[in-house]
Amino acid sequence: MPGSVLEAAAKMSQGKARPALELVGYAGNVEAAIKYAFGGAFVCQDAGAAKKLAFSREVGMRCVTLEGDDFNPSGLLTGGSRSFSRSLLASLHALSLAEAALATVQERLSAVDAQLKDLAAAGKEHR
C-alpha cells in the first residue's frame, strides 16, 4: 500500500482506520495469501470513516467496519451490522490486543520471578 494512501487515510479518517494487514497475524508460509486477501483494505471504526475513504480519490480502497459493513470503491456495499455476533475482523483485533497484553504480563512475570529467585538466593547467604 503506497505511503501516500496511508497518509491520506490517516488524515481523512482522523485515526479511525488502519490497514487490515496490520491487524492480522500469520505464519510466513501463508504471507502471499494474506497479503492478497487483506493488503488492499482498511478496517475502520465506523461507517462514516469507511465510506469517506472508500469513495475518495486519495484512498479509493475497500474499507470494512468493525461491524462487518464492506464499502467497495466500485460502489458495492455488502454485509451489515449484526447485533447478535461480532465480526471476524473485530474478533481478530480483540485477539491481537489480548495477545499483546498477555506478552507484556508474561514479561513482567518473568522479571518478578527472576527477582524472587535472586532474593531467595541472597536470603540463603545471610542465614
* Structural domain boundaries enclosing 28: 3-125
Q: Which residue has the cell 497475524?
A: 25
pLDDT tens track, the chain, 127 positions: 788 899 999 999 999 999 999 898 888 899 899 888 888 899 999 999 999 999 999 999 999 998 888 898 887 666 665 544 556 677 777 788 888 899 999 999 999 999 999 999 888 888 7
For the whole model, what pTM was predicted?
0.58
Alpha helices in 39-87 (DSSP H): 47-54
Q: What is the CATH number of the domain that holds 109?
A: 3.30.70.1620
Look at residue 95 in the predicted model and tell me its pLDDT. 82
Separation CA 48–CA 39 (nearest Å): 21
